[in-house]
Amino acid sequence: MDSRYAGEMLRHLDKQNELLADAHRSMLHELHKLQVEEEMLMRKFYEFMSAQGLTRRNEDGNDMQRDCNNGHGKTLVQVIADK
């Protein structure tokens, strides 16, 4: 690489780095908003399913929601299918 263009290349790379950092921050912000929205929708869905009587209890009789909140459950809502 020619040393004449080193300064110009450095400025170009610095600008690209700044643009990428801005895009990264913007994407992280959007991801956080979507995660909050997902959690809110799942809680509303659980409330709806509970009101309809469609949530299932564990074998020990505990509600799935409580187990999910303390990290023991894998899903927020389990639906009982009509057989």
Asked if residue 65 is part of any domain, the answer here is no
Q: Identify whether 70 is part of a domain.
A: no
pLDDT tens, position by position, 22-69: 999 999 999 999 999 999 999 999 999 988 888 765 555 555 555 555
Q: How far is CA 7 from its chain centroid? A: 41
Print the domain residue range for 33: 3-53
Helices vs strands, H then E, count in the chain: 2, 0
Q: Per-residue pLDDT tens for 1-24? A: 678 899 999 999 999 999 999 999
Specify the number of domains making up the chain. 1
Any domain includes 16: yes
**Residue 59 located in a structural domain:** no
Residue 39 lies in a domain: yes
83 within a domain of the structure (yes/no): no
| 21 within domain boundaries | yes
Task: Tell me the C-alpha distance between 52 and 7, whole Å.
Answer: 67
